[in-house]
Amino acid sequence: MIERMLQSDSYEARQCGGQLAALAAMQWGSTELLDSVLSGVDAASRIGTAGACAHELPSATDTVVARRAFEQLIDDPEEKVRKAIAEFASVVRGRRLRPLRDPLKRLMESASFEEALPQLLITLEHAPDRVDDLALECARRFVEIHGGDSGDIRTRAAADARHVGELLVRAYAQATSSTSRGQVLDLLDQLLLIGAFGVADLVEKSER
């Protein structure tokens, strides 16, 4: 049935086929159809696979297969695939994030970071455990990609800048070494130097 869906003329059927192929691989160890999706050129099936990976990775029976698909799709050339896989950032909200540290860091390093960023900031903000290393990585990538726009209130980057600053303040409080605290302060300095919107006020309030 999944094979027929993947070969269908219907975009929606191929998308659903990609989702089922991923579920069959992650939960039941049947990887042949997933491999064909990942090696193929059909965007619809990859979108379905990406959505399934994003939602099922934390609970997958075969975590090796799930991680392999996840790490391939986060750098997919198709924007809709990256948006689907970026849903992982909201899926894990409320969970302890340290057990998911590796896939979260890979997401931050990937081409899907921009799609994931708004939800990722909220997820890190509400994490119930220590996330100073993840906050640092997220802030580094934000400065790398959006630093130049973060002072322009017409951009989404400016809206995100204050959230990044708040994450860094939390990371400073959680850091367990002077090295980590120094890295946090360095990133805050970078945000201040580029005039990131709202960060100067945030730092001033934190110092009081």
- Cα–Cα distance between 196 and 198 in angstroms, integer? 6
> Which of 199, 204, 125, 105 lies closest to 157 in space, CA to CA?
199
Residues comprising the chain, all counted = 208
Tokens 């990937």 -> residue: 110
Maximum C-alpha span of the chain? 64
Percent of the chain with pLDDT over 70: 99
Q: Give the pLDDT confidence score for residue 208 in this predicted structure.
A: 54
pLDDT, tens only, 114-161: 999 999 999 999 999 999 999 999 999 999 888 777 777 777 778 888
Rounded to 5 degrees, φ, ψ at 196 are -55, 130
Question: Each residue of 47-71: pLDDT tens digit?
Answer: 999 999 999 999 999 999 999 999 9
CB 113 within 8 A of CB 157: no
